[in-house]
Amino acid sequence: MTRSLLDFADWTAEQVQAIFDTADVMHEVLARPVKKVPALQGMTICTAFFENSTRTRLSFELAARRMSADVVTFAAGASSLSKGESLRDTIETLNALGVDAFIVRHEASGAAHLVNKYSAKPTINAGDGRRAHPTQALLDAYTLREKFGSLEGKKITIVGDVRHSRVARSNAELLPMLGASVTLCGPATLLPKELARRGVTLTTDVNEAVKGADAVMALRLQRERMNAGYLGSLEEYAATYQVNEALMERARDGAFVLHPGPMNRDVEISGSLADSPRALIVRQVENGLAVRMSVLYHLLVGRGA
């Protein structure tokens, strides 16, 4: 088993399957009255969040605590680097305090790789720049697998700001590995043509993108994108690319809707669709906890899963 989860470059479908199988077990743990196992007792896990993210951090911290690990949190704004301390110094300091594993969120792509290089400890990428957010992709795939049984042959469409989305990049790595095809869709300014590869197609035509899809994921659209010139207005975006009931008519009957959160209701996704039974958004969050417990288990305890 890979010792770190930075992206899916050196992962196999079998290893991912093992993560999913253990996540099933973790779900059982989470259903018990005492939602705690001693698997990581005596270990210290550091959530090193150089970029703010309350939701992801809470999910990881809860996952670690459910497995009896001690958790220390390093929370720094981007200012810590401008104070002159390098990422290397920060990580070496934390390492010297006896941390057993790092969970890293950083605004710079590749930062998790650097943490892993400087610490030589198991490292989980909790989102680095635009690069990767592998546990989000795992929980997305796990949630879809829960509904479909298998992802083989499924068409998954991802709509929104693909350019700046680590969630889209990680899903475009993982889902084809599990047999699904991925269609990335968004305005041309937010859809880098270089992302096309085997199992991944690109289109700016949202109707075409959603046609026959088994699931559609909407990505968060940030207001800053307008100021940066990527878009005319959020209203225009919503009128053109919003994932809503009318658009979902083009998908397969009963197709599911996902969103990595946090949502801008009625911008990238209609509020009513987000609240509908076909939306898996709350289930994604629930599964995130089990999947992250499973990842921690495999990286810190599991052997050759």
Considering the rule CB under 8 A, would residue 225 count as an interface residue with other proteins?
no
Per-residue tokens: 224? 């800053």
262 is in an annotated binding site: yes
Considering the rule CB under 8 A, would residue 30 count as an interface residue with other proteins?
no
Considering the rule CB under 8 A, would residue 128 count as an interface residue with other proteins?
yes
130 is in an annotated binding site: no
198 HSE (CA, 13 A, CB side): 4
Considering the rule CB under 8 A, would residue 199 count as an interface residue with other proteins?
no
Contact, 213 vs 153, CB < 8 A? no
SS3 assignment, position 218:
strand
197 is in an annotated binding site: no
Burial of 208 (0-12, 13-18, 19+ CB in 10 A): middle
Task: Write down how long the chain is.
Answer: 305
Q: Give the residue carrying structure tokens 């810190």.
A: 300
33 is in an annotated binding site: no
Report in angstroms how near the CB of residue 269 gets to other proteins at its nearest: 23
Considering the rule CB under 8 A, would residue 131 count as an interface residue with other proteins?
yes
Tell me which stretch binds other proteins (CB under 8 A): 40-48, 102-110, 247-255, 283-291.
Answer: 102-110
- What is the rounded CA–CA span in Å between residue 102 and residue 120? 10
Considering the rule CB under 8 A, would residue 106 count as an interface residue with other proteins?
yes
Per-residue tokens: 222? 């940030």
- For the window 66-95, what string marks contact with other proteins as x by the rule CB under 8 A? ---------------xx-x-xxxx------
292 is in an annotated binding site: no
Considering the rule CB under 8 A, would residue 2 count as an interface residue with other proteins?
no
Tell me which stretch binds other proteins (CB under 8 A): 40-48, 104-112, 174-182, 250-258.
Answer: 104-112
Considering the rule CB under 8 A, would residue 201 count as an interface residue with other proteins?
no
- What is the rounded CA–CA span in Å between residue 30 and residue 296? 15
- What is the rounded CA–CA span in Å between residue 216 and residue 180? 13
- What is the rounded CA–CA span in Å between residue 75 and residue 57? 10
Q: How far apart are the first and last CA of the chain?
A: 6
Per-residue tokens: 210? 């959603």
Give the residue, chosen from 130, 155, 225, 259, that forms a contact with other proteins under the rule CB under 8 A.
130
Considering the rule CB under 8 A, would residue 245 count as an interface residue with other proteins?
no
220 is in an annotated binding site: yes
Report in angstroms how near the CB of residue 87 gets to other proteins at its nearest: 6
| Helix axis angle, 87-96 to 111-119, nearest 10° | 40
- What is the rounded CA–CA span in Å between residue 178 and residue 187? 27
Q: Give the residue carrying structure tokens 């921690």.
A: 296
Give the residue, chosen from 2, 68, 76, 110, that forms a contact with other proteins under the rule CB under 8 A.
110
Considering the rule CB under 8 A, would residue 285 count as an interface residue with other proteins?
no
Give the residue, chosen from 114, 269, 274, 279, that forms a contact with other proteins under the rule CB under 8 A.
114
Nearer to other proteins, 27 or 166 (CB): 166
225 is in an annotated binding site: no
The continuous run of DSSP H or E covering 182 comes out as strand 181-185
Give the residue, chosen from 76, 108, 226, 285, that forms a contact with other proteins under the rule CB under 8 A.
108
Give the residue, chosen from 154, 169, 259, 298, that forms a contact with other proteins under the rule CB under 8 A.
169
Question: Which residues are annotated as part of the binding site for carbamoyl phosphate?
Answer: 55-56, 105, 133, 136, 261-262
Question: Which residues are annotated as part of the binding site for L-aspartate?
Answer: 83, 166, 220
